[in-house]
Amino acid sequence: MASLTKAQVFIMAATAGISVANVYYSQPILNAIAHTFQISTEKAGIISVLGQVGYGIGLFFLTPIGDMIERKRLILYLQAGLFISLLLMAFSPTLPMLYVGSLLIGVFSVVAQVILPMAASLVKENRGKIVGQIFTGILVGILVARVFSGFITNWLGWQYVYLLSAVMVFFTGILMQADFPPMHEHFNGTYTGLLKSTVDQLRRFPLLRRTALTGMLAFGTLSAFWVTLTFYLSEAPFNYSASLIGLFGLLAAAGALLAPLFGKLADKGTHSRSLIFSTGLTLISILVLKLFPGSLTGIWLTVILLDIGVQATQVTNIAIIYSLDHLANSRINMVYMTSYFAGGALGTYLSILLWNAGGWSWSTSFMIFLGALAIFNVVSTPRMQKTN
């Protein structure tokens, strides 16, 4: 099995972060886009929805192909498609074309979900550390995306957000065609057989099912927290503006910066120990909210601890699933990430329902339930030894 240089890991992390950021650029600039096309904010909001839908489509139909053809070649095709989609978005003369551009941006932004299994397949030692570094690039891309698009829109206009992103995608596309080690073993069969085999991974690996459930619960907790925190801080006694609430997201950078550290921990000892710690930290962070309602310090502490706990869970989970079968990493990754994002969507939806029914008390109780269920799932899963 090959190895990766520090420069190659950096290129992969930067490419993954720049790619996934495109899904989130539209969120803070919808009003500017609505003004340009003279449409309602509701119609503008469809742009963000289509980006998320496109990402789901790409995740299911495109990322498994990484087990069939050389991943470096697949990344080239995806980045070429992303480059063209960004130009379409920037120069769209009509709203329907803008919608198409947003959908295609989501489809081709799944480059990050091809790079992660690629890195895992190319290394044997320190897999968790390297995957953690690339995952840090993804987290930084997500965190910086909204700040970047808002700043560029204020200074140059929203179209330049996508033009500048196209330039970055172009150059990272060239860098990703550097001398990465090739993979010589691939899935032999048809594309239909590949998709069927993707679903079969759930049957093959009970550990994948348990790990996917842990990731679903963790991300569901995080999503539930952020959506209800917005409602909570908008009301008395805080009465914060949307821009001020957005600054709380900067505290979440702690999770991104510490992801490589937890990747190293995942390379040592048992994965179970790491997951018990990370899911326990997630539950403790929500208990702080429950025990100290109305405390701004408690909210700050929860933001930091919750993000660290969820990101540590994610990095450890990725280290686990990439030890199952390196020939099926792309398919296994698709199964896991689909469960992960499904958990986020369900957590968001249910937390809004509970907020409307019982406010902050019901919402935090729901988060505690998810956190406790995640710990139970980890503890009841057969011992997960480190495998490389």
Can you tell me whether residue 385 is helix, strand or coil? strand
The helix, strand and coil proportions of the chain, stated in percent and rounded to the nearest 5, come to 80, 0, 20
Can you tell me whether residue 194 is helix, strand or coil? helix
Instruction: Report the pLDDT value the prediction gives residue 368, as an integer from 0 to 100.
Output: 97
Tell me if the bond preceding 96 is cis, omega within 30° of 0: no
Instruction: Report the pLDDT value the prediction gives residue 3, as an integer from 0 to 100.
Output: 73
C-alpha 231/C-alpha 248 separation (Å) is: 13
Range 367-383 average pLDDT: 92
Contact 68, 197 (CB under 8 A): no
C-alpha 32/C-alpha 195 separation (Å) is: 40
Can you tell me whether residue 253 is helix, strand or coil? helix
Instruction: Report the pLDDT value the prediction gives residue 246, as an integer from 0 to 100.
Output: 60
Q: Which residues contact 44 (CB under 8 A, 6 or more apart)?
A: 30, 31, 33, 34, 37
Residue 123 scores a pLDDT above 90: no
Task: Give the largest CA-CA distance in the chain.
Answer: 61
Q: Which residues contact 296 (CB under 8 A, 6 or more apart)?
A: 238
294-303: b (≥16 Cβ within 10 Å) or e: eeeebbebbb
List, for residues 289-323, the tens digit of each pLDDT value: 899 988 999 999 998 899 889 988 988 898 889 88
Higher-pLDDT residue of 45 and 264 is 45
Higher-pLDDT residue of 353 and 260 is 353
Can you tell me whether residue 79 is helix, strand or coil? helix
Query: Mean pLDDT lowest for which of 175-184, 203-212, 258-267, 368-377?
Result: 258-267
Residue in 300, 286, 304, 301 with CA at minimum distance from that of residue 374:
286
C-alpha 25/C-alpha 35 separation (Å) is: 17
Instruction: Report the pLDDT value the prediction gives residue 181, as an integer from 0 to 100.
Output: 74
Length of the chain, please? 388
Instruction: Report the pLDDT value the prediction gives residue 82, as an integer from 0 to 100.
Output: 98
DSSP string, 206-238: HHHHHHHHHHHHHHHHHHHHHHHHHHHHHSTTT
